[in-house]
Amino acid sequence: MRRLLFIAAMMLLSLQAFAGDEGRYIEVSGTAEVEIVPDEIHYIIEMKEYFEEEFDGKSKPEDFATKVPLDVIEQQVRRVIKDAGVPADAVRTEEIGNTWRERGMDFLVSKRLDITLSDFETIERIRKGLDTRGINAMYIGELKNKNMAEWHEKGRTEALKAARNKAEYMASAAGCRLGRVMRIVEGSGAGMPMPLTQTNVMASGASPADTYRTIKKTYTVLVRYELADWL
């Protein structure tokens, strides 16, 4: 009981400490997390030239001589993508570059394809159909939802509700009552997605079924409430 009284007294002192030119007020933060199912998925496939001798199990790097050109690799990849039911206009070339292998040896040309999809099952069909030779990496890039603005509104609303609930029980515990809202500040992390590393599907054989398939956004607000009176 003494501990509860002590905490209540400290809270009262804390609230009184905010009394100034703006009157008595309490300032609290509210946080809400929204989980969204994406309707636009960007699947990235990184291709790179390779030497056939790399896979014979006996040749040394200095003996590599039969390079498989990028256009051959890309033809195979695009064939698999088409067979998975993906239209050609949903595939975009994102990046082309060269990789230096070893001193005195050829450049290995690489290319990245960005494939726009609407479901994760298509990713599974693509992954199963690909020959991983010539594939440097496969992973899920950006996730989107066409109603994202509505989800932002919902997340901010829920964060404000959380702040209100917190302020009400804190003020009540100190023998006070909330008045008008004096200020609302949106947190710097509001609406920011979770790290994309959670969505990666690498060429190691990981299945999309084992990955994080939703968009998580966290919304934070800082709200100042007037303490209208003392009960």
The string of pLDDT tens digits covering residues 79-100 is 999 999 999 999 999 877 776 5
Token couple for 28: 């609290």
Query: Which position has the token pair 């998580």?
Result: 216
- What pLDDT was estimated at residue 107? 79
- Concatenating the DSSP letter of every residue in 99-120 gives EE-STTS-EEEEEEEEEEES-H
- What pLDDT was estimated at residue 208? 43
Least confident range from 183-187, 196-200, 217-221, 223-227: namely 196-200
Question: CA–CA separation, 124 vs 45, rounded Å?
Answer: 13
Token couple for 63: 């003996």
* CA nearest neighbour of 138 among 56, 212, 48, 55: 48
101 pLDDT tier (thresholds 50, 70, 90): low
User: At residue 14, does pLDDT exceed 50?
Assistant: no
- Helix segments in the chain, DSSP class H: 2-17, 70-83, 120-129, 148-173
Question: CA–CA separation, 16 vs 10, rounded Å?
Answer: 10
Cβ–Cβ under 8 Å, residues 27 and 227: no
Cβ–Cβ under 8 Å, residues 115 and 6: no
Cβ–Cβ under 8 Å, residues 206 and 127: no
CA atoms within 13 A on the CB side of 11: 19
The tens digit of pLDDT for each residue in 160-195 reads 999 999 999 999 888 888 999 999 999 854 444 333
Q: From residue 162, how far is each of 31, 36, 108, 175, 212 by CA, in Å?
A: 6, 20, 54, 20, 26
The tens digit of pLDDT for each residue in 118-148 reads 999 999 999 999 988 999 899 998 899 999 9
pTM greater than 0.85: no
- What pLDDT was estimated at residue 230? 57
